[in-house]
Homo-oligomer: A and B are copies of this chain.
């Protein structure tokens, strides 16, 4: 399935290395769906500040949740200008020249105005989606959020309508005159890998770890 590229806005048009820019919706969705943490930038007074936050993509919006949200939520009546960036690191690119060292990565930048979610039914769905974003298959097994938790936990929604992706893949690219340099060149692939689940003290020997913990992997298996 393919979709038409979303027209990049002036702000999200990638100005440098435009060959690395990708605007296709499927690419952007797959990066957002694989990520675990968004780095969210906002203004604190006159200064930019960037905070890591848990998130979920639901359709064409990101739900953002994290304890520092209170700071940015103060001004939420009129919405808050935000930038949420998700980066997946795929490898280290070792070139013959120091200058051409690089990284293989996939990243998405979403810019827009976030608003607070106040409807508790939407909040309940969004918190489930955040748990599912992090551990697919998990949300059905937990004690759902209660009325008190839903009411007093703040949550933001950021529409995905001004977004761009950027990525690098493949081997190093050296200048022709450096190709005879005797240094090894290539890529060290990187992956986020899960270790053996560590049971909570009260579960040890009593509750077996479920498949969503023992078989955890990123990116998700195609069957997930």
Q: Which residues of A contact B (CB under 8 A)?
A: 11, 14-17, 36-37, 39-52, 54, 67-68, 70-71, 81-85, 87, 89, 91-92, 94-99, 101, 103, 105, 107, 109, 111, 127-128, 130-131, 134-135, 138-139, 141-146, 149, 153, 171-172, 178-179, 181-203, 207-210, 213, 216, 218
Shortest Cβ distance from A180 into B: residue: B202
Let me know if B48 and A81 touch, CB within 8 A. yes
**Are A134 and B45 within 8 A (Cβ)?**
no
Given A51-B85, A179-B202, A193-B193, 17 more pairs with CB closer than 8 A? A11-B47, A16-B67, A37-B103, A37-B105, A41-B83, A47-B81, A47-B111, A50-B109, A92-B194, A99-B127, A141-B184, A171-B198, A184-B208, A185-B202, A186-B213, A188-B216, A190-B193
Task: List B contacts of A91 (CB < 8 A).
Answer: 198
Which residue of chain B lies nearest to A43 when distances are taken between CB atoms in the complex? B48
- Judge whether B186 and A70 touch: CB under 8 Å: no
Q: Which residues on the B side are within 8 Å of A103 (C-beta)?
A: 36-37, 54, 134
Query: Which B-chain residue is minimally distant from A171 (CB atoms)?
Result: B200
Q: In the bound complex, what is the Cα–Cα distance between A79 and B87 (angstroms)?
A: 26
- A37 near B89 with CB under 8 A, answer yes
* Inter-subunit contact A98/B139 (CB<8 Å): yes
Contact A145 B99 (CB under 8 A): yes
List 21 A-B pairs, Cβ < 8 Å.
Answer: A17-B67, A37-B103, A37-B105, A43-B43, A47-B111, A49-B109, A92-B134, A99-B127, A99-B146, A101-B138, A142-B181, A171-B200, A184-B210, A185-B203, A185-B207, A186-B200, A187-B198, A188-B194, A188-B198, A188-B216, A189-B196
Asked if residues A39 and B85 are in contact (CB atoms below 8 Å), the reply is yes
> B residues within 8 A CB of A96?
142-143
A143–B97 touching, CB < 8 Å: yes
Q: In the bound complex, how far is the Cα of B49 from the Cα of A72, in angstroms? A: 15
